[in-house]
């Protein structure tokens, strides 16, 4: 058979990823370089550092994906690359590389919206028909949308300040969790999930954000402020300085995770009721897709399972490696667009990236 082949390239944040997929979603070759350890050490992403790491790795990552697939660049049907949203300096590296590549090999170019790619990934793994509801939660994003088609999304809610993964990372940093023997190499979200397992969430109670706001947006900055105040009080009680591990760290982690889960579940519940009231989802077996780095949190997943069961939705959550940034999801979005002939550009068109 002569299935069409797509090379996907991702560099919007802190992962340099590439993959070659055939039209059915079979992954022929992939490669991923993560900068997460570097950024963990500096306590956050420094854009120029991220840019340099993408530059250092993009050529090798793309070569590896191609070699592993055994596909000659001449045999590709198109190249798909993330052009928005993300860090401008990071996006630029992947885009410049791709533009040179498509010109050199005379291939069509498919600019990809990173969030569209996250939302569609589930369809590579199993048949999920449009429309479906999607909740994307990671370090950089937080949104609720109805996916009505490959390039047709209705945005129901977004974060008004920061994304939940960002909040968890900042709380973890404030608690100095990298000093905890079990957490030295974990992301903030992973550290909080692990410590929360041995914590009593009821020892602290944080108000769930936006209880009186009648939309589907999110807000985490106020919650983070409450958590920080609590941490300061605890430090005073224990007579220790910032930077020292609190004895109540497990309980604070558990209460933090619980409140983030409640907020996500409540906003999603509102979105489901809104969709139902407006006939925006199919009446038989409607689906909620949960994705993004924060989706690997089992406690948060459980909260969304409860909401889904309550409202009769079927919850789907791709395995962790497909929830976080990678080249595969970009290649898959390329396949979906190629199939429908949407947004495919000739090799010589100049494309700009858009951070927002």
Q: Which is nearer to Zn ion, 30 or 325 (CB)?
A: 325
Q: Which does 286 bind (CB under 5 to 8 A by kind): Zn ion, ligand KG4, none?
A: none
Nearer to Zn ion, 231 or 294 (CB): 294
Which of ligand KG4, Zn ion, none does residue 188 bind to, with CB < 5 to 8 Å depending on kind?
A: ligand KG4
CB 329 within 8 A of CB 121: yes
Residue of 113, 94, 85 lying closest to 356 (CA atoms)? 85
* Angle ∠(173,175,178) on CA atoms, nearest 5: 60
- The binding track of 177-196 with respect to ligand KG4, each residue x by CB under 6 A or -, is ----------xxxx--x---
Asked if 318 touches ligand KG4 (CB under 6 A), the answer is no
- Contact flag: residue 157 with ligand KG4 (CB under 6 A): no
Q: Is 10 in the site for ligand KG4 (CB under 6 A)?
A: no
Among 169, 234, 251, 336, binds ligand KG4 (CB under 6 A): 169
Q: What are 6's two structure tokens?
A: 């797509």
Q: How much of the chain is in helix, strand and coil states, percent to nearest 5? A: 50, 20, 35
Residue 293 site contact among Zn ion, ligand KG4, none (CB < 5 to 8 Å, cut-off depends on kind): ligand KG4
Report if residue 121 touches ligand KG4, rule: CB under 6 A. no
Instruction: From the list Zn ion, ligand KG4, none, pick the one residue 116 interacts with, judged by a Cβ distance below 5 to 8 Å according to partner type.
Output: none
Q: Does 116 contact ligand KG4 by CB under 6 A?
A: no
Query: Binders of Zn ion among 269-328, rule CB under 5 A?
Result: 325
* Four-CA torsion 343, 347, 351, 353, nearest 10 degrees: 80
Question: Are the CB atoms for 340 and 39 separated by under 8 Å?
Answer: no
Q: Determine the angle formed by the axes of helices 249-277 and 164-174, rounding to 10 degrees.
A: 170
Sign of CA dihedral 270, 271, 275, 281: negative
Give 283's strand partners.
none
CB-wise, 271 or 300, nearer to ligand KG4?
300
Contact footprint for ligand KG4 (CB under 6 A): 13, 138-140, 165-166, 168-169, 187-190, 193, 292-294, 296-297, 324-325
């Amino acid at each position: 058979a002569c299935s069409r082949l797509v090379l996907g390239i991702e560099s919007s944040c802190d992962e340099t990823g590439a993959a070659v997929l055939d039209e059915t979603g079979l992954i022929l070759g992939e490669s991923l370089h993560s900068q997460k350890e570097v950024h963990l050490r500096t306590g956050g992403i420094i854009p120029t550092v991220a840019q340099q790491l993408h530059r250092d790795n993009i050529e090798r990552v793309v070569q590896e994906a191609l070699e592993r697939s055994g596909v000659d660049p001449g045999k590709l049907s198109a190249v798909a690359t993330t052009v928005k949203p993300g860090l401008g300096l990071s996006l630029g590296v992947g885009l410049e590389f791709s533009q040179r590549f498509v010109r050199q090999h005379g291939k069509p170019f498919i600019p990809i919206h990173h969030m569209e790619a996250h939302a569609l990934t589930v369809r590579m793994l199993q048949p999920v028909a449009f429309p479906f509801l999607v909740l994307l939660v990671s370090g950089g994003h937080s949104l609720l949308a109805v996916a009505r088609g490959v390039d047709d999304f209705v945005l129901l809610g977004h974060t008004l300040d920061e994304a939940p993964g960002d909040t968890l990372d900042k709380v973890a940093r404030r608690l100095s969790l990298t000093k905890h023997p079990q957490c030295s190499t974990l992301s903030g979200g992973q550290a909080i999930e692990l410590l929360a397992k041995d914590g009593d969430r009821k020892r602290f109670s944080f108000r769930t954000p936006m209880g009186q706001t009648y939309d589907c947006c999110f807000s985490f900055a106020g919650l983070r402020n409450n958590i920080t105040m609590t941490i300061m009080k605890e430090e005073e009680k224990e007579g220790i300085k910032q930077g020292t591990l609190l004895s109540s760290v497990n309980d604070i982690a558990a209460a933090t995770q619980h409140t983030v889960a409640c907020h996500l579940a409540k906003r999603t519940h509102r979105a489901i009721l809104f969709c139902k009231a407006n006939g925006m989802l199919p009446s038989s077996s409607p689906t909620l897709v949960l994705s993004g780095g924060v989706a690997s949190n089992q406690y948060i997943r459980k909260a969304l399972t409860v909401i889904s069961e309550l409202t009769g939705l079927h919850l789907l959550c791709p395995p962790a490696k497909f929830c976080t940034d990678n080249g595969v999801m970009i290649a898959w979005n390329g396949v979906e667009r190629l199939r429908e002939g949407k947004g495919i550009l000739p090799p010589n068109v100049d494309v700009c990236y858009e951070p927002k």
